[in-house]
A and B are shown apart, each in its own frame.
Chain A
């Protein structure tokens, strides 16, 4: 059995090795180094934040430790929930929807062994990032409570057992569900439900207005309420065993720790045994069901988009194709739903800002906030662009041959993609900016500046998205939407952040000057006006350059890669 499983996992190991700088003799080293450095920065940031919070708690008399334990309990429950959610999605893909399943199942290997190899892959894929990036929190606990090496070993082991346990639970649920509902439909439904739940929880949390904690009148009452809150602590839950193991390890109770770890370990063993039994009985049936496409929920209706008849043939072809394939992809709906909900929450945050209690003059503060809000709204723009516009070129998939062989220029194709995404992104950003500015009751100058900035920055960010997406495409990927997590995607996010930062910074001084002169009734000098003009001109030039250059770069790189043109 071990031999079969290792053989089934071998292609995965080989492809990781073949893509690494070791195999390519240094090729892509800088890419990997860049990603590693980013990861280290994030890790260090999380550790710093966790230490700050825990040290703050430790200074609160009587309640400090209780708060820290409550927080730990909530973190473990959250990690377990995330792991189950992530494992369900990964298990559906790896076990039922992957392209190589036909090849693997045609081999003389028992179904449950194939299942187990896939289960191991899926567990690793779902868990490694969650474990790696939550480790700083636990390291912070060990640091603040001066725990020894045993605590850190317990942490590592607990997280591994939690991950495997979550994967086991997820696989059981998936195998049972696929017997009844097609795998592809479960994936879409689950994603939608999961996101809906997350949004509802977030809205509920937001409505509670936790920022009131900073109000001393509310703080002590809130703390006592928080103390009385309890997360699920049934003795039969893996989260309880993990929590108990960590608490006893922090207190130096090694025997008790070992007992709780043994409980977790036995749960994992039993779970794995049960899922292997289930796999032997029903896994292959589920795979067979997944080979057929789900019946359409809505019947086919021929329709034409209302305004596209005005467009020329090739433009109409690309626009209609893009809109139809986008809206018929069910995975996109959940993303759109999430964005809609996030916009509502974003605007709500501004509605409940306690500006009247600020020691700074309110109208002045509101306008400064409006300026800072621009930066935040543009970061939301980067996230949305990264999710939708960056993978737009890659979404052609293997059908890119149609564009290669068709009578259209590549430049035309890329710019059509650009224009399709420009309008929705512009509308989204304007809603965020104008909506929040209305709530902040800003002066006309700030409203005008925000809108003008939006009109120039959105095209720039989109150009970076489409251009870099064209320069770093992934036509063979099973899930092109995830290309934003690739090297090209990271480059896009960093360059977009730098672009927005540069534009905002160039304007910061002039905006401060203009607002000061308005509120303090101080006229601007000639030097002030010159500086303002130069800064705004500089910002405009940057926007225009960023709107054009990435698209040219993307077109050039895409042409070279698609047509194998030597540079």
Chain B
């Protein structure tokens, strides 16, 4: 699970994330949506331990990220939006690198690695250098690496960037299956359809603040109240516009 308390991040005079408080229990997929520059990636970075907050705290399965970063990160599988990895390693070597970094048992590795590569349609490329991979292949490899050590929490920034439709379908189902087995998933996305299809709850962030949070049904009700609109006929995109665009 993920606990976020009064999380704030300031860059000089700019407040990128402002007093964010959120609790995501085990087995939930929480989607973070918002316009560009809203603070999604900053929040994701702080939750994954890539950025120190100006104030507030993040706990991963009860472990404080700021006080015990190594232990907290041990529980996370992080998937960034841009797939920069070691180009001179092969896919298998990169998975081995990740497995070793997370102190995974050696005897389990080979079987799990091949299973993950097969799942992400990369088994034929297992011994090829990453420098010859396309953007989408690198993204899938990073996903495979993030999952190989069976993390309790997955933090993912824009999961579908660079993936083809069949890969998108596979990843959606994979996330749902992982959540069903108790993994907590915290993801940011621009694609509202993905959020609607996959997420149990959605948070809308705008100018660093969480302006709405709840299930899709709950958010639609909020929009109905705001606009006297018919909740059944409003979709997430319209909802997003209603919540994030300035009132006329």
Contacts and interface: CB of A to CB of B under 8 A. Distances in A.
A404 to B, nearest CB: 5
Given A302-B127, A399-B86, A408 B97 contact: no
Contact of B50 (A328, A397, A398, A404): A404
Interface size class of B (residues with CB under 8 A): 35 or more
A397 B52 contact: no
B129 A398 contact: no
Interface stretch (B23-31, B73-81, B180-188, B195-203): B73-81
A401 interface: yes
A305 to B, nearest CB: 11
Interface size class of A (residues with CB under 8 A): 20 to 34
Nearest to A304: B96
Contacts of A318: 101
A289 B160 CA distance: 29
B51 interface: yes
A329 interface: yes
A325 B85 CA distance: 11
A1 interface: no
A324 B88 contact: yes
Interface in B135-159: none
Contacts of B71: 407
Contact of A317 (B11, B48, B73, B100): B100
A501 B78 CA distance: 47
B51 A407 contact: no
A457 to B, nearest CB: 32
A293 interface: yes
A557 interface: no
Given A293-B131, A564-B51, A300 B70 contact: no
Main secondary structure of the interface of A (DSSP, over half): helix
B120 interface: no
B128 interface: yes
A300 B84 contact: no
A405 B131 contact: no
Interface string B80-116: 1010111011101100111111111000000000000
Interface in A271-328: 293, 296, 300-302, 312-314, 316-318, 320-321, 324-325, 328
Interface string B30-55: 00000000000000000011111010
Interface of A: 293, 296, 300-302, 312-314, 316-318, 320-321, 324-325, 328-329, 397-399, 401-402, 404-409, 562-566
Given A401-B84, A563-B50, A563-B51, 7 more contacts: A302-B90, A314-B100, A316-B100, A324-B93, A404-B49, A407-B102, A407-B103
